[in-house]
Structure formats: C-alpha cells, structure tokens
Structure 1
Amino acid sequence: MLEQLQRLQAHISTLKTRLNDAERKNETLLAEKDRNEEQHHAQIVQKNSIITQKQDEVDNLTEQNTELQAQFKTLNTDATALAERYSRLEKSCTDLKNRFQEILAERNELRVVKEKMLAEQRQAQHEIQDLQAERTRLIQKNEHAKTKVEAIIQRLAILGTEQDHHAQEIQQLAHPTENNEEA
C-alpha cells in the first residue's frame, strides 16, 4: 500500500505538474486567444473601414458612371446632330461646287461672247470709218457735181430767153426740193 500511495503521490505530483503545465498552457492560450481576438477585432475594424471606404468609392464611381453615361448620351446626341449637319454641309458644299462650275462655264461663255462682240464692234468701227470716208468722198463728189451744174446753168442763162426756159427746167431738175418748197 505504501507503494501504491507513493505511486499515487507520484501520479498526483505528475498530475499537479501536468495541471500546472495545462494551466500555464491554458493561460498562454487564453492570452494568445485574447491577443488573437484583439488582432481579429482590429482586423475586422480595419476591414470594415476598408469596406466602408470601398463602398464609398463604389458609390462615387456609380455616381460618376451615371454622370458619364448621361454625358455619353448627350455626346451621342450631339454627334448624331453634328453628323447630320455635316451631311447637310457636305451636300451644300457639293451644290455650291456644282453651281460654281456652272458659273465658271457661264463666265467662259460670256468671255467668248464678249470677244465675239468686241471683234464685231471693231469690224463695225472699221465699217463706220469706211462709210464715213465714202460719205465724205460722196459729199465732195456731190459738191463738185453741184458746182458743175451751177456753172452749166449760168452759161445757159447767158444764152438767152428761149434757152432760159430750158435753164429753168434744168435748174428744177438739179434742185427739185427747192422748187417744191416754193410751190
């Protein structure tokens, strides 16, 4: 029995040692648990603040996305309007270009007509000059003939009264307008 008692005491001392070890381990584990809980709590707080920041960023980005989508729609509308305006301007440009080509063609035609008319004008000027020269020549010839007729009439007037009658007829023939005015 003493042996058993000694064994029991050895077991008890072993159990006390183990119990002390277990209590120390337990205290160490509790302390570590508390530290881990504090770290975990600190990490949770940190993660929650990060989640809150990220949620705020997501909200901001969502707002920005909404604004950008509205701007995108506005820009698409503006782009469509500008494309339509560009199309109209391009059509107007084509029309103006065609009209300009027509005007150039008309201008060229008018230049040809102008040159033709200038040539005709020069020709008409030459004809007028020729006609004026011929008129001057004919007036001189007429004056020369008139002078001859008057000289003949004066000679006939000298010949006598019988011949005077013939001189008057010749004079009437030479100047028919003067006799018509007297009558």
Structure 2
Amino acid sequence: MLAELQRLQILIKTLTQQLQDKRLENIQLQAQLATPVVNPEEQQARLALQHQLELLQVEHAQSVKDQETLSERLVELGRSHQDLQSNHEGLKATHTQHQVEQNQLRSEIQQLKQTLETERADFAQIKAQLEAERDGLVRKNEFAKQKVEAIIHRLSMLGQSTSTADTAN
C-alpha cells in the first residue's frame, strides 16, 4: 500500500507537471493567436481589402446621403408641381372667363355696329328728307320773294301813278 501510495504521488506529480506544461503551451498558443504570424502578401491583401471596405463604406454613406437629398428634392418637386398645376388651373379658369367676356364684348360690339348702321341709314334718310324740304322751302322763299318784289313793284307803280294823278289834280 505504501508502494501504491508512492506510485500515485509520482503519478500526481507527473500529471501536475504535464498540466503546467500544457497551460504554458496554451498561453503561448493564445499569444500567437492574438498576434498571428501573417505573411507580408496576406497582410498587404488584408490592408487592401480593409481600405477597399472603408472606401465602400464611405461610398455607401454618400449614396445614402444622396438618396436622402434626392428624396427631399423629389418631395420639393412634387410640391412645386402641385403649385404649378394649381396655378395652371387658375390661369386656365381665368383664360376661360376672359374668352367668355371677349365673346360677350364681340357680341355687344356687333350689336352696336348694327345699331349704328341702322341709325346711320335713318340719319341719311332724315338728312335727305331735310335737304329736300330745305330745297322746297328755298324755292318757296324765292317764289315768295319774287311775289313780294312784284307787289312792291306794283305798289311803287301805283304810288307813282297816284302821285302823278295827285299832281295833276
């Protein structure tokens, strides 16, 4: 039993030593993993990939920013489009109203033109009647004037004959 106990103590020492060796080896392996041995080509490729990844991340961030800017611009353009469409509808309504007013004015002008033509014809007829009446009155006046002159002439002759008869008496 003593021999068995000694054998077990030696086994425990051996196992303890092996455990310490394995722990030390494990620590060394962990240190190696923490600072891996990389060959320079792999290191350069890794740096290139990391740089490319950073560039892609910057491009992605810029693309997201551009997308947000474009979305905002699209919203602004949508509002501007709605405003322009409202203005267009307003102008269209105003234009339609102006066309209606223009047609009404044309109709009124046409009516006034017809009225003026009718009045012009009426005035021309009245003028012709007045000129004919004036010509008639001028002739009557001339005739009356001739009669008055004839009467004056007769009276003056009668006056002369009475004055000669008075002088003879």
- TM norm. shorter chain > 0.5: yes
Q: 1:7 to 1:96 in 2, by over 3 A?
A: farther
**TM, length-normalised to structure 2:** 0.67
- In 1, Cα distance between the equivalents of 2:39 and 2:84? 63
- In 2, Cα distance between the equivalents of 1:55 and 1:95? 59
Counterpart of 1:76?
A: 113
Of the three residues 66, 77, 86, the one matched with 1:40 is: 77
- In 1, Cα distance between the equivalents of 2:48 and 2:134? 117
Kindly report the root-mean-square deviation, in angstroms, between the aligned alpha carbons of the 2 structures.
Answer: 2.4
- In 1, Cα distance between the equivalents of 2:47 and 2:137? 124
Counterpart of 1:104?
A: 141
Counterpart of 2:19?
A: none
Counterpart of 2:15?
A: none
Of the three residues 102, 121, 124, the one matched with 1:87 is: 124
Q: 1:89 to 1:2 in 2, by over 3 A?
A: farther
- In 1, Cα distance between the equivalents of 2:124 and 2:60? 90
**TM, length-normalised to structure 1:** 0.62
Question: Residue by residue, what CA displacement relative to the aligned partner does 1:121-180 show, whole Å, maximum 9, x if unpaired?
Answer: 42464477589x5xxxxxxxxxxxxxxxxxxxxxxxxxxxxxxxxxxxxxxxxxxxxxxx
Counterpart of 1:118?
A: 155
Counterpart of 1:62?
A: 99
Q: 1:120 to 1:42 in 2, by over 3 A?
A: same
Cα displacement (A) at 1:96: 2.7
- Long gaps (5+) in structure 1: 134-183
| Percentage of pairs with the same residue | 5
Of the three residues 21, 38, 43, the one matched with 2:58 is: 21
- In 1, Cα distance between the equivalents of 2:40 and 2:141? 138
Counterpart of 1:31?
A: 68
Moved over 4 A (4+): 123-131
- In 2, Cα distance between the equivalents of 1:42 and 1:98? 81
- Long gaps (5+) in structure 2: 1-37
